[in-house]
Structures are given as structure tokens and as C-alpha cells.
Structure 1
Amino acid sequence: MTKYLISFPSEAMALSPEDFQAVSDASHAVVQEAKDAGVWVFGGGIDETVPPVMVDGEGTVTEGTYPQTTQLEGGYTVLELPSREEAVEWARKIAVACRCAQELRAFQYDPES
């Protein structure tokens, strides 16, 4: 089976404070549905209050990140599914729960993961 990344940037989820709890409840329900279906791998939101660092092969930690990923934020879900069609359906469910479109990407197959 293929692992799929379903994600969205923080700016895509423009909610009023009144809507936040409903979206949180709806997204947690989809997470539970994915767990119950046995397709959940992991997921969560990037903690945007913690700045990224780079760690090299010597263990040296440097503030910052790759220029291409300076805006890495938002929410991420990884599911393991038998088909792209099923991945599209799960992305649709998450889009409904989060009230924003989701980006869908497939991970390359790796027999060790």
C-alpha cells in the first residue's frame, strides 16, 4: 500500500473564533474514522511558535532552515491506503472537516517504511 500526505497551509484555514471548536471536533472525528479504518499513520499541525533549526552530520544545530521551506506550517496527515482514489476520498473528508482544500501527495514506495 502507498502512504499519502494530505496537507494544507495555515492561511488556508481562515476561521472565526466561533467556528474553531466545530472544525476541531470535525477534524478529530475524521482522525478517529481513519484510525478505526486502520489507515492512520500519523498527523498533526506544525507548532509555528517553535522556530526550525538545521542539524548537520556532526550534530551542529543552526537556526533557520532550507530557503524552500521557510513557510512550512499548517496541518499534515499521513494515511496508508490501497489506491489514489481512496486517498482522494480521505482528502475530501479532511477538506470538509477543516473547511479548506487539501493538497494530496504520494510517498515513494520504500519496503523498509
Structure 2
Amino acid sequence: MSHISDDDFPSVGDSARAVIREAKAAGVYVFGGGIDETIPSVLVTGEGKISPGTYPETSKFNGGFCVLKVQTRKEAEQWAAKIAVGCWCAQELRQFMYDPES
């Protein structure tokens, strides 16, 4: 989101929230939110050891995420495109694996 000026940021927020309202109205919205970059990330091991930082490959991650429940990959791509327009930036689309116990 570094390509967005401080002056344009409120407009991005408005358009992003409009897409989320659309997803909620369509019944596909599950959860979403921005990453609070004021709180530093930490790594926590299985033994409970906590160290500052993150995985090197995710150190440049910024922004947020949105979880939608849709029926097809095509529908997911269409929603990702709507979110990209609303957020003024490209979106990475990922799929959750099925949990047989849920």
C-alpha cells in the first residue's frame, strides 16, 4: 500500500469498506482485518520460546486479509478482483484446506 498517498488513504478505506459491506450482504464474508503494524511480530516455538521478528520471507508483509466462503475458485477470483479495486492494490488469493473435523 506504499503507492497510496496520505491524502488518498481515506478514499481507499471508504472503497475497501464498501466491498466488505457488499461481501457481507452477499453472505460470503467470514472474517477480515488489517495487520496492526504498531505491534511488533514475534516467533513462538513449540517449546514456548519467544523471539522478536518473523520469518524472513514474510518480513515485508503489510496490509491485511479477508476470509470469504464461496463455492468456486472462479467466484473467489471475482471477489479478489473486487477487493483489489476497493483496496487500490493487487490481492493474493489463497485457499484454506478442508478440515475433516470441522
Normalised by the size of structure 1, how large is the TM-score?
0.78
CA distance in 2, matches of 1:94, 1:107: 18
CA distance in 1, matches of 2:42, 2:17: 29
| 3-state SS, counterpart of residue 78 of structure 1 | strand
Would you say 1:46 and 2:18 are equivalent positions?
Answer: no
Normalised by the size of structure 2, how large is the TM-score?
0.85
Runs of at least 4 residues off by over 4 Å? none
Unaligned stretches of 5+ residues in structure 2: none
Instruction: Name the structure, 1 or 2, with higher relative contact order (CA <8 Å, separation 6+).
Output: 1
5 Å-filtered alignment, 1:81-92, equals 81-92=70-81
Indicate the percent of aligned positions where both proteins have the same amino acid. Answer: 58
Could you report, residue by residue, the CA deviation over 1:39-83 in whole angstroms, capped at 9, with x for unpaired residues?
111111111221111122232321122222222222211111100
Which residue in 1 is equivalent to 2:99? 110
| 3-state SS, counterpart of residue 37 of structure 2 | coil
Which residue in 2 is equivalent to 1:65? 54
| 3-state SS, counterpart of residue 88 of structure 1 | helix
For the aligned residue pairs, the C-alpha RMSD in angstroms reads: 1.6
Higher strand residue share = 1
Count of aligned positions: 102
CA distance in 2, matches of 1:22, 1:67: 32
CA distance in 1, matches of 2:62, 2:11: 21
